[in-house]
Structure 1
Amino acid sequence: MRYARVSAGGRAVWGRVGETDVELLSGSPIEGDAQVIGTVPRDTALWLPPVVPPVFYAVGMNYPRHIAHAGAAVPDRPEVGYRANNALTGHGSPIVRPAGVEGRFEAEPELVAVIGRTLKHATHDDARAAVFGWTIGNDVSARTWQHQDRSFWRSKNSDTFKPMGPWIETDVDALAQTTTLRVNGEQRASFPTGDMVFDPFDHIVEITRHITLQPGDVLWMGAESTCQLEPGDTVEVEISGIGVLSNPVHPEGNHPS
Structure 2
Amino acid sequence: MKYVRFKQGETDKYGVLKEEEIIVLTGSPLNGDSTQTDEKVNIEEVRLISPLVPNEIIGIGANFFADEKDRPEWLPDTPIFFSKPKHSVIGTGDSIELPPGVESVKFESEIAVIIGKQARNIDESDYLDYIFGITVANDVTSPDYFREDGHWFVGKSFPSFTPLGPVIETDVKLENVMIQSYVNGKPFQNSPTSHMIISIPQMITYLSQVTVLNPGDVILTGSPVGADFVKAGDVVSCTVTGVSTLENPVIQSKTTKKVTLI
Q: TM-score, normalised by structure 1?
A: 0.89
Once the two structures are superposed, residues 42-101 of structure 1 have per-residue CA deviations (whole angstroms, 9 ceiling, x without a partner) of: 1233122111121111111111239x99xxx96235452211101100011000111221
Match of 2:259 in 1: none
Partner of 1:184: 184
Instruction: Determine if the alignment matches structure 1 residue 50 to structure 2 residue 67.
Output: no
Once residues 39 and 146 of structure 1 are traced to their aligned partners in structure 2, the CA distance between those partners, rounded to angstroms, is 46
* 1:128 to 2:138 alignment: no
1:204–1:79 CA distance, 2 compared to 1 (3 A): farther
Unaligned stretches of 5+ residues in structure 2: 256-262
Shift of 1:241: 0.4
Paired residue for 2:106? Answer: 106
Separation of aligned partners in 2, 1:33 and 1:109 = 31
**SS of the counterpart of 2:94?**
coil
One-letter code of the match for 1:210?
A: V
Superposed displacement of residue 149, structure 1? 9.4
Mapping 1:77-92, distance limit 5 Å:
77-92=78-93
Greater shift, 150-159 or 172-181, is seen at: 150-159
Q: Distance in 2 between matches of 1:18 and 1:80?
A: 35
Q: How does 1:126-165 map to 2 (within 5 A)?
A: 126-147=126-147, 151-165=151-165
Amino acid of the structure 2 residue aligned with 1:53:
P
CA contact (8 A) 1:49 1:164 kept: yes
- The one-letter code of the counterpart of 2:61 is G
Aligned to 2:258: none
Which amino acid letter does the alignment assign opposite residue 249 of structure 2? P
Q: CA RMSD in A?
A: 2.3
Deviations 1:157-208 (A, max 9, x none): 1000110101111114124211111011111121113321111111111111
Q: Give the AA of the match of 1:247.
A: N
Aligned partner of 1:3 in structure 2 is 3
**Which secondary structure state, in structure 1, belongs to the residue aligned with residue 187 of structure 2?**
strand
Deviations 1:212-251 (A, max 9, x none): 1111111000112211111001000011100100000011
**Greater mean deviation of Cα atoms: 136-145 or 21-30:** 21-30
Instruction: After TM superposition, list the pairs within 5 Å mapping 1:218-237 onto structure 2.
Output: 218-225=218-225, 226-237=227-238
What runs of 5+ residues in structure 1 fail to find an aligned partner?
none
Distance 1:34 1:176, change over 3 A: same
Helix, strand or coil at the partner of 2:155 = coil
Amino acid in structure 2 at the alignment position of 1:177: V
What is the alpha-carbon distance in structure 2 between the residues aligned to residue 21 and residue 84 of structure 1?
32
| Corresponding letter in the other structure for 2:22 | V
Q: Is the 8 A contact 2:82 2:153 kept in 1?
A: no
Could you tell me the TM-score, scaled by structure 2's length?
0.88
Partner of 1:20: 20
- 1:7-53, Cα deviation, whole Å (9 max, x unpaired): 11212211111112222211111222522343321123312211112
Residues 193 and 43 (structure 1), Cα distance of their counterparts in 2 relative to 1, 3 Å cut: farther
| Aligned partners of 2:188 and 2:228 also within 8 Å | yes
Structure 1 149/157 Cα, relative in aligned 2: closer, same or farther at 3 Å?
Answer: farther
Q: Residue 59 of structure 1 aligns with which residue?
A: 60
Contact residue 78 and residue 202 of structure 1 kept, 8 A: no
45-54 vs 144-153, which moves further:
144-153
1:149 to 1:210, Cα distance in 2 relative to 1, 3 A: closer
Shift of 1:210: 2.9
Q: Which residue of 2 aligns with 1:195?
A: 195
Sequence identity percentage: 29
Quick check: 1:20–1:41 contact (8 Å CA) kept in 2? yes
Bigger mean CA offset, 162-171 vs 28-37? 28-37
